[in-house]
Amino acid sequence: MKEAVLAILKQQEGSFVSGQAISRGLSVSRAAVWKDIKALQDDGFQIEAVPRRGYRLTGGPDRLLKGSVLPLLERDHADSLICLKTVDSTNNFAKALSGRDGQERLYITAEEQTGGRGRRGRSFYSPAGLGLYLTGLYHPQSLPPFLSNFTAYVAVAVCLAIEKTCGFRPAIKWPNDILFDGRKLCGILTELAFEGESGAVQYLITGMGINVGQQPEDFPEDIREIAGSLAMAGARPQLSRLCAVLINELDKAYDAFLNSDPQYRSLYRERCSTLGQAVYILSGQQKSAVFAEDLAEDFGLIVRREDGSRETVYAGEVSVRTPPRP
């Protein structure tokens, strides 16, 4: 209930809202509104209470709360947004909800993950209060021909959200790492499940973790030289605003994905720092030296091998080849 009160105050942030208007809008008593106001104040929100004027939100903690995010969304996600304080993995939580009927899309956020996962079974560092951890759960009724493309659409959505909230343009390291100044800001993990008999898609899940407030000393030693954050790049957006802008961009990216919108290939290509680079492709135990020439229509990486032959690569880790020292 207090989340609904917070959402109303957030919509009118800086202005007074009468207790009568809140109670009427939520169909509850004035006493219930006052109880929720006190609970929000106990949670750290600065709310003025002035007789005959009502309540005014003037500030509050940087928290990922449903009442803080909903007013900033372009679509109605009142029944399709779950905000958690802590969870083992937002992807795991989404899988547990994948059997829900009637919801084509659902978003789960968390302020902390205790078992965050990355690609290839790696763990993803997800400390409380320093990052945005979000998963989109989708039940598409129809699908474009290339399912693996969705990760690329999500990468573009993450970049656009960072650009709109932070004012700088990050880069995409093919296929799905978001970088700034060579450091990893965000990882993306997309998972699919198919029904055994029909082969129909059971669910499409994409999880992302954006490093927001960390400084170098906050990262574990084994990733300290490669990990970065928005704060290290000179920006520290509010988690609620970053979350809302990201969900807005994910909604657009999902719609574009279903319609195979070619614009997203252009947006991806503009931001792909891998193109035009001499790189190594690591696939299993095999390491190949190639030159990344271009992006295929289905987001595969077109590479030229040292013997001059070309092929399109769809999986593997990429690392830039450093020229030998003279």
Q: How far is CA 111 from the centre of its chain?
A: 12
What's the pLDDT band for 101 if we cut at 50, 70, 90? low
Between 253-257, 299-303, 317-321, the lowest mean confidence (pLDDT) is in: 317-321
- pLDDT greater than 80 at residue 146: no
Lowest mean pLDDT among 8-17, 119-128, 248-257, 267-276: 119-128
Res. 306: pLDDT tops 70: yes
Q: What whole-number percentage of the chain has pLDDT above 90?
A: 56
Q: Please name the residue that has the structure tokens 């956020």.
A: 109
- Structure letter (DSSP) for residue 78: T
Distance from C-alpha of 124 to C-alpha of 162, rounded to nearest angstrom: 20
The pLDDT value recorded for residue 3 is: 82
**CATH code for 278-320?**
2.30.30
pLDDT given for residue 38 in this prediction = 87
Quick one: CA torsion of 277, 123, 136, 128, rounded to 10 degrees? -110
- H or E element in which residue 240 lies: helix 239-258
**CATH hierarchy code of domain 66-271:** 3.30.930.10
Which residues in the chain are classed under CATH 3.30.930.10? 66-271
Query: Looking at residue 297, what DSSP letter applies?
Result: T
pLDDT at 268: 97
- What is the pLDDT, as a whole number, of residue 14? 80
List every span in the chain annotated with CATH 2.30.30: 278-320
> How crowded is the C-beta side of 283, counted as CA atoms within 13 Å?
9
Mean pLDDT of 21-31: 88
At 144 the pLDDT is 67
**Worst-scoring range by mean pLDDT, 59-63, 71-75, 125-129?**
125-129
The CATH topology of domain 2-59 is: Arc Repressor Mutant, subunit A (1.10.10)
> Which has more confidence, 197 or 82?
82
Residue 197 banded pLDDT, cuts 50, 70, 90: low
Q: Say how far apart CA 321 and CA 236 lie, in whole Å.
A: 32
Residue 44 Cα distances to 63, 72, 75, 137, angstroms: 10, 20, 28, 31
Is the pLDDT at 322 greater than 60, yes or no? no
pTM of the model: 0.87
Say yes or no to pLDDT of 325 above 50: no
CA 326 to chain centre: 42
* pLDDT tens-digit series, residues 277-300: 999 888 777 888 999 999 999 899
**Residue 324, pLDDT above cutoff 50:** no
Q: Which of 30-44, 121-135, 163-177, 256-270 is predicted with the least confidence, judged by mean pLDDT?
A: 121-135
Parts of the chain belonging to CATH 1.10.10.10: 2-59
pLDDT in tens, 228-282: 999 999 999 999 999 999 999 999 999 999 998 999 999 999 999 999 999 988 8
DSSP notation for 17-67: B-HHHHHHHHT--HHHHHHHHHHHHHTT-EEEEETTTEEEEEE------HH
Separation of CA 53 from chain center: 38
pLDDT (0 to 100) of residue 326: 40
Dihedrals φ, ψ of 216, to 5°? -50, -40
Provide mean pLDDT across the span 157-181: 96
For residue 40, is pLDDT > 90?
A: no
**What value does the mean pLDDT of the chain take?**
88
